[in-house]
Amino acid sequence: MTAPTLTDTWLPEGARALALVLHGGAERGTGPVDGRSLSWRRGRALARQLAAGLNADGIGVVLLRYRLKGWNAGHGPVPAPVADARWALDELARTHDLPVAVLGHSMGARTGVAVADHPGVRGVVALAPWLPPDDPVAPLAGKMLRAAHGRLDRITSARATRAYVARAAEVADAEFTDMGAVGHYLLRRVPLWNAYAAAGVREVLCSAGGG
């Protein structure tokens, strides 16, 4: 695959806002993301589980599939998924021109924060995010961040997420939620993760005039 793709769309009639779902990935990986990618499939499952409830509130759900599996910092002017997410946001602005909440898991949350300065984005909902201590908070200025992390995550760091949220709170409406004794892949307490994600999307969009 040579281009990012909006693979799945759940769009209610008369949609008033959108949730762009960004799946996870790896620190490095130049292989293409295809239909067998576990990260993309997890993102698809999350999007599908949320779609009915959000659609009932007039919120469409759209899933992006990146070109490459990795963040791949230093391999281009911006990390690969960031370029892909900006393309997706431009495409959604062109076709729908609606306010957007970005919902990201792991690397998808890092990507979401990086593109939060896009004019269409009202805020980011971050699930078990990958947020290194040197990542900037400036893209979130004037936006909203809702971040949730489990204490048993050994892939990304709940402590790093809490620290990032504290820095982001200086420029944005940012809050951290402790999800308890759960790990990284959203496989335990699934209804709780889904409820958090849906509530976060609604809060982001309603607080920004999206509903």
CATH superfamily label, 5-207:
Alpha/Beta hydrolase fold, catalytic domain (3.40.50.1820)
Average pLDDT of the segment spanning 107-127: 98
Domain boundaries, the chain: 5-207
**pLDDT on residue 90:** 98
Read off the pLDDT band of 96 (50, 70, 90): very high
**pLDDT on residue 75:** 79
Average pLDDT of every residue of the chain: 96
Flag whether pLDDT at 210 surpasses 90: no
What one-character-per-residue DSSP string does the chain give?
--S-EEEEEE--TT--EEEEEE---BSS--SBP-TT-HHHHHHHHHHHHHHHHHHHTTEEEEEEE-SBSB--TTSSSS-HHHHHHHHHHHHHHHHT---EEEEEETHHHHHHHHTTTSTTEEEEEEES----TTS-SGGGTTSEEEEEE-TT-SSS-HHHHHHHHHHHTTTSEEEEEE--S--SSS-SSHHHHHHHHHHHHHHHHHHTT--
Read off the pLDDT band of 74 (50, 70, 90): confident
Point out the least confidently predicted range of 4-8, 18-22, 34-38, 144-148.
34-38
**pLDDT on residue 143:** 98
Average pLDDT of the segment spanning 158-162: 98
Residue 93 is encoded by which pair of tokens? 């602005």
Flag whether pLDDT at 211 surpasses 80: no
Flag whether pLDDT at 1 surpasses 70: no
Flag whether pLDDT at 176 surpasses 70: yes
In sequence order, which residues have a C-beta less than 8 Å from that of residue 171 and are 6 or more positions away? 137, 138, 140, 141, 142
Q: Which amino acid makes up residue 136?
A: P
**pLDDT on residue 185:** 96
In sequence order, which residues have a C-beta less than 8 Å from that of residue 151 and are 6 or more positions away? 158, 178, 179, 180, 181, 182
Read off the pLDDT band of 208 (50, 70, 90): low
In this predicted model, which residue has the larger pLDDT, 1 or 110?
110
